[in-house]
């Protein structure tokens, strides 16, 4: 993984000093809250319902055991003993004090971590496939380019006061696990007919109040042009993106209002002016960064009879092995998902103790690598299959062995009204109740792959638009109401879910979800047809009828 050199170290320390001075001037009254706000947001510090919230960057979701232990330490010392992993592969602490944040940032800097650009109207943490460098279907490692973009975008002098936040995601495999089509810029690694590396480029995807799937602006952008082309997109957006209404300020609205062809022409014109210049990626530099992400020294495959025997004898292991392992490109290896979705728990939360357990496992069995997935789980990307039973045993002892990756209880949910100042409804308790309703292994297995995503307001941080079943909490006459959308998806065939009908009360919503699920079970063409496939085949009619009766 990427290691700081002396310049990265100096950069992060200088940033801590800069932010400490900004906090000091805020407390001294030299900065108004209005003037301080974008500065603290650019360093991941929000003012929430009950307290400040600090969002720490986990670049493209990759970290090591030492870093994870530091997060555990921060959870214990400055928070209430836990942290919350987010849909952008970062971690949030919900209870830090403003005057302690410089100290937290200094502690993070000790382990090459920071909170730079995890919030604010700037280029945010670049996200990537959580199985990067491990997945069997990968063309190239997306983290190499995510790191190059991270460096280029850090404290960018031109793009730190954009109309609105700007999110970039990269996938290295044809099967998109990074939801690139619902990002401001989505990059999909590809090879052209000459075998050269480049990117399919999407612009203008996003969720929020006006969900849109990104539009393709390049079938193949050569690797060398990555930064110049990205700078061209950002310049056009910075100059012409709307600033009169924050809900219309994302680049998706600019794409929509300007028209794709005209905007593409604007981008290409800006690109032509700078292409071949200082931002051209030299192959040497790509190679230099790539070396940081070289595969670990894989071991010879262990005795897989251990694995096979555990399937037969270890309670729960067969379910875990079926659901939480992903095919690895190295023989004898697998990528292992550690679910942060225990039945009835708050999605994405981990205690300090659990973080330390994961750190220990990564060191002992996982070549010291940990990933955060955008589905709010953790991943050990490189584990010998023969070690999986031992890992499972430890996970089980610490409430981390839920065998539900990709299943109905692997729910994405925003913090909702329990924490967030913007939310208009609760999301975590809805997720917990759904999780309890479907929680038995038999029921989950019967239902199969199904993504439920819950947002507590129309800003859609819980990505409900791209849930196979999406749930949006709104407030109506002082009561919470939950709108259900069906058929959303955030993979290589992205789609925005459709609202199925009038909303349900807090009490009714779990029954409504169960009605939808039961309807699917009745109409599917066998177990092979998952929820999304079935929905795409039959449309909303049977679900509507089951929910609302014939009208």
The least distance separating another protein from the CB of residue 20, rounded to whole angstroms, comes to: 10
Name which of 29 and 478 has its Cβ closer to another protein: 29
The least distance separating another protein from the CB of residue 257, rounded to whole angstroms, comes to: 15
Name which of 145 and 543 has its Cβ closer to another protein: 145
Name which of 217 and 228 has its Cβ closer to another protein: 228
CA neighbor of 231 nearest in space, from 152, 117, 120 = 152
The least distance separating another protein from the CB of residue 157, rounded to whole angstroms, comes to: 4
As to burial, measured by CB atoms within 10 angstroms (0-12 exposed, 13-18 middle, 19+ buried), residue 291 is: exposed
Structure tokens at 21: 């001075």
Name which of 41 and 496 has its Cβ closer to another protein: 41
| Alpha helices per DSSP H over 469-530 | 509-523
Name which of 21 and 262 has its Cβ closer to another protein: 21
Backbone angles phi, psi at 146, to 5 degrees: -65, -40
The least distance separating another protein from the CB of residue 18, rounded to whole angstroms, comes to: 5
DSSP annotation of 350 reads E
Name which of 177 and 250 has its Cβ closer to another protein: 250
Name which of 237 and 438 has its Cβ closer to another protein: 237
E strands, 308-462, in order: 325-327, 333-338, 349-351, 370-372, 378-384, 412-413, 452-455
The least distance separating another protein from the CB of residue 221, rounded to whole angstroms, comes to: 18
The least distance separating another protein from the CB of residue 238, rounded to whole angstroms, comes to: 5
Beta strand pairing call for 349-351 and 52-56: unpaired
Structure tokens at 100: 């302690």
Rounded to whole angstroms, the Cα distance separating 331 from 239 reads 50
Name which of 16 and 486 has its Cβ closer to another protein: 16
The least distance separating another protein from the CB of residue 326, rounded to whole angstroms, comes to: 33
Cβ-proximal residues to 60 (8 Å cutoff; 6+ apart), any chain:
89, 125, 126, 127, 128, 132, 142, 143, 146, 147, 150, 170
Return the SS3 of 489.
strand
Give Cα separations from 43 to 18, 230, 242, 314, 495 (angstroms): 10, 22, 24, 46, 32
Name which of 34 and 528 has its Cβ closer to another protein: 34
The least distance separating another protein from the CB of residue 21, rounded to whole angstroms, comes to: 5
Rounded to whole angstroms, the Cα distance separating 232 from 251 reads 13
DSSP annotation of 123 reads B
Name which of 21 and 508 has its Cβ closer to another protein: 21
The least distance separating another protein from the CB of residue 84, rounded to whole angstroms, comes to: 28
Return the SS3 of 130.
coil
Rounded to whole angstroms, the Cα distance separating 46 from 254 reads 27
Give me the residues that bind another protein (CB under 8 A), please.
5-7, 10-11, 14-15, 18, 21-22, 25, 30-31, 35, 38-39, 121, 151-162, 227, 235, 238-239, 243, 273-274, 278-279, 282, 285
The least distance separating another protein from the CB of residue 511, rounded to whole angstroms, comes to: 45
Contact 387, 395 (CB under 8 A): no
């Amino acid at each position: 993984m990427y290691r700081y050199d002396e310049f990265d170290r100096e950069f992060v320390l200088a940033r801590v000093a800069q932010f400490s001075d900004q906090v000091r001037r805020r407390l001294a009254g030299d900065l108004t809250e209005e003037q301080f706000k974008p500065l603290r947001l650019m360093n991941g510090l929000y003012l929430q319902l009950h307290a400040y919230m600090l969002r720490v960057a986990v670049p493209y979701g990759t970290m090591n055991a030492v870093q994870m232990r530091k997060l555990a330490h921060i959870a214990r010392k400055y928070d209430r003993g836990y942290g919350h992993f987010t849909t952008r592969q970062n971690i949030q602490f919900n209870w830090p004090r403003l005057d302690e944040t410089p100290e937290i940032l200094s502690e993070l800097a000790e382990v090459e971590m920071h909170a730079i650009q995890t919030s604010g109207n700037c280029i945010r943490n670049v996200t990537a496939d959580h199985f990067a460098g491990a997945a069997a279907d990968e063309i190239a490692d997306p983290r190499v380019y995510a790191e190059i973009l991270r460096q280029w975008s850090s404290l960018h002098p031109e793009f730190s006061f954009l109309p609105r936040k700007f999110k970039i995601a990269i996938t290295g495999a044809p099967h998109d696990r990074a939801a690139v089509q619902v990002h401001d810029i989505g990059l999909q690694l590809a090879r052209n007919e000459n075998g050269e590396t480049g990117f399919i480029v999407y612009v203008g995807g996003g969720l929020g109040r006006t969900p849109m799937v990104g539009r393709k602006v390049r079938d193949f952008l050569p690797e060398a042009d990555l930064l110049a082309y990205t700078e061209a997109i950002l310049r056009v957006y910075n100059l012409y993106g709307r600033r009169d209404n924050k809900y219309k300020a994302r680049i998706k609205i600019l794409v929509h209002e300007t028209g794709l062809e005209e905007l593409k022409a604007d981008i290409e014109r800006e690109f032509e002016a700078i292409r071949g210049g200082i931002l051209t990626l030299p192959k040497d530099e790509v190679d230099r960064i790539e070396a940081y992400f070289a595969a670990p020294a894989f071991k010879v495959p262990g005795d897989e009879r251990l694995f096979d025997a555990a399937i037969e004898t270890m309670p729960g292991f067969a379910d875990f092995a079926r659901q939480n392992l992903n095919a690895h490109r190295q023989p004898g290896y697998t990528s292992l998902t550690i679910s942060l979705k225990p039945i009835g728990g708050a999605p994405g939360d981990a205690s300090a103790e659990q973080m330390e357990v994961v750190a220990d496992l990564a060191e002992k069995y996982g070549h010291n690598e940990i990933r955060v997935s955008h589905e709010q789980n953790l991943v050990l990307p490189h584990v010998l299959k023969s070690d999986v039973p031992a890992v499972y045993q430890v996970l089980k002892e610490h409430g981390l062995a839920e065998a539900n990756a990709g299943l109905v209880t692997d729910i994405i949910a925003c913090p909702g009204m329990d924490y967030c100042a913007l939310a208009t409804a609760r999301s975590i308790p809805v997720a917990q109740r759904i999780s309890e309703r479907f929680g038995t292994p038999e029921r989950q297995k019967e239902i199969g792959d199904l993504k439920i995503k819950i947002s507590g307001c129309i800003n859609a941080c819980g990505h409900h638009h791209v849930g196979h079943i999406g749930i949006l909490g709104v407030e109506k006459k002082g009561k919470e109401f939950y709108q259900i959308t069906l058929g959303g998806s955030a993979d290589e065939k992205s789609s925005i879910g459709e609202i199925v009908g009038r909303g349900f009360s807090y009490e009714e919503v779990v029954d409504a979800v169960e009605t939808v699920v039961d309807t699917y079970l009745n109409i599917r063409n066998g177990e092979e047809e998952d929820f999304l496939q079935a929905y795409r085949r039959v449309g909303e009619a049977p679900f509507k009828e089951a929910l609302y009766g014939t009208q």
